[in-house]
Amino acid sequence: MTRPEPAEAASRRPTRQRSALLAVLSDTDGFRSAQELHALLRARGDGVGLATVYRTLQALTDQGQVDVVRNADGEATYRRCSTAHHHHLMCRSCGRTVELADSPVERWAARVADQHGFADVQHQLEVFGTCAACAAAREPQR
Amino acid sequence: MTRPEPAEAASRRPTRQRSALLAVLSDTDGFRSAQELHALLRARGDGVGLATVYRTLQALTDQGQVDVVRNADGEATYRRCSTAHHHHLMCRSCGRTVELADSPVERWAARVADQHGFADVQHQLEVFGTCAACAAAREPQR
DNA sequence: AACGTTCATGAGAATCATTCTCGCACAGTT
DNA sequence: AACTGTGCGAGAATGATTCTCATGAACGTT
Ligand SMILES: [Zn+2]
Ligand SMILES: [Zn+2]
Ligand SMILES: [Zn+2]
Ligand SMILES: [Zn+2]
């Protein structure tokens, strides 16, 4: 079996492709798909194989270094986020993202799950909207 | 404001395949993928083409008659739900689902979005856990 | 520095869910 | 029966993600 264990930590070899990917991730504020990141890397000069992009993204996700959110088309998009638990408020137009902590969902989810006899509770919450900049840019068209 | 209801899809021809699909959807409590529904229909006797399953599911979703949730594998899963806004508490083991209304998220999302200058706010929230039955069924194995 | 072991990489093939194509079937109408 | 509009479905096409496996890079040890 060559499959990494779930509880496995981050003892991976540092490579050019990994730092390149992390660099691109740090350069953008929003969530990007693996395909987009692959293209950005290529455009930047330090190309990285598509398979490696997916593989590395998977590893970073397991380590909690990046968050994953599926967009409307069902594609997985990634973003480097703080490691603490939080949710996102993102612009569906430009991708601008704000991390949100301390939501009332934390308590509520636990309580309601308990009321229904559910254990090992988890939740996923995302908030979408149009940021001020994008709203302003659209206004003139009226 | 967030419910642009053209109310045009109401005049669709009633067909055997559609009622069969609705029947299967009503028979299950959890979310099922298009592939699963297709298999269930076939097993039941009234088979329906895969393309039709997808097509009908899409139409029902547009009409708000079914909710869609992407599972961990990224597959779209469907469930016949109440038409009013709500969220779900579902068992990640057996799929049992409970509809949740009146969450504190409604207000919170609107407020926090406003604070950051975002408009046209929407949100998606799902709660996962292990239902009492599944937890009990797993206990004996210890 | 050279050597051998181990792990990461990447081109291309393979998966697999979802969508598209397009000829056929069927109900209702004249 | 002939005509028309719409839904159906087998199979092809699409596209993201994963897998295969030969090659190359990183590391610890001589
Ligand atoms: Zn924006
Ligand atoms: Zn939370
Ligand atoms: Zn259960
Ligand atoms: Zn809500």
The CATH number linked to B48 is 1.10.10.10
Mutation target to probe the A interface, by most A beta carbons within 10 A, among B107, B127, B130, B131 is: B127
Query: Are A47 and A94 in a shared domain?
Result: no
> Tokens standing for B25?
């959807």
- Going by pLDDT thresholds of 50, 70 and 90, the confidence category of residue B134 is very high
Residue A48 has pLDDT above 50, yes or no: yes
- Number of domains within chain A: 2
Domain boundary among A67, A82, A97: A82
Q: Is the CB atom of residue B48 positioned under 7 angstroms from any atom of strand C?
A: no
| CA max distance for chain A | 60
**B57 with B105, same domain?**
no
- Taking the CA of B137 as reference, the closest ligand is 3
- The per-residue pLDDT for B121 is 96
Residues A126, A70, single domain; the answer is no
Q: Does B102 touch chain A (CB under 8 A)?
A: no
Count of CB atoms within 10 A of residue A96's CB? Answer: 19
What pLDDT does A142 receive?
A: 54
Range of the domain at A93: 84-142
Bridge partners of B125, per DSSP, are: A125
Q: Are residues A72 and A109 in the same domain?
A: no
What average pLDDT does chain B have? 89
**Lowest-pLDDT choice from B4-13, B69-78, B91-100, B101-110:** B4-13
Own/partner long-range contacts of B101-105 (Cβ < 8 Å, ≥24 apart): B103/A105, B103/A108, B103/A112, B104/A104, B104/A105, B104/A108, B105/A103, B105/A104, B105/A105, B105/A108, B105/A125
Between CA A136 and CA B15 the distance in angstroms is 47
Separation of alpha carbons B106 and B126, rounded Å? 13
The model carries a pTM of 0.89
- Residue ranges of the annotated binding site of A are 85, 91, 94, 106, 123, 131, 134
Based on the fold, state whether residues B88 and B75 are members of the same structural domain.
no
Residue A3 confidence (pLDDT): 32
Question: Do A14 and A37 fall within a single domain?
Answer: yes
| Closest residue, chain A, to B107 (C-alpha) | A104
- Same-domain pairing of B1 and B70: yes
A112/B contact by beta carbon, under 8 A:
yes
Distance, first Cα to last Cα, chain A: 60
Same domain membership, residue B108 and residue B62: no
Model pLDDT, residue A140:
66
Q: How big is chain A by its Cα radius of gyration, in Å?
A: 18
A12 and A59 share a domain?
Answer: yes
* A137 close contact with B: CB closer than 8 A: no
Tell which of B58, B105, B131 to mutate to test the A interface (max A CBs under 10 Å).
B105
Shared domain for B22 and B2, answered yes or no, is yes
Nearest partner of A136 among A90, A91, A71, judged by Cα: A91
Judge if B37 and B95 occupy the same domain.
no
| The domain boundary residue, chosen from A82, A102, A120 | A82
CB within 7 A of strand C (chain A, 41-80) = 47-52, 55-56, 74
CB-based contacts of A122, cutoff 8 Å, min separation 6: B127, B128, B129
Residue where one domain finishes, among candidates A38, A66, A82: A82
CATH number reported for the structural domain that contains residue A109 in this entry: 3.30.1490.190
Are A31 and A48 part of one and the same domain?
A: yes
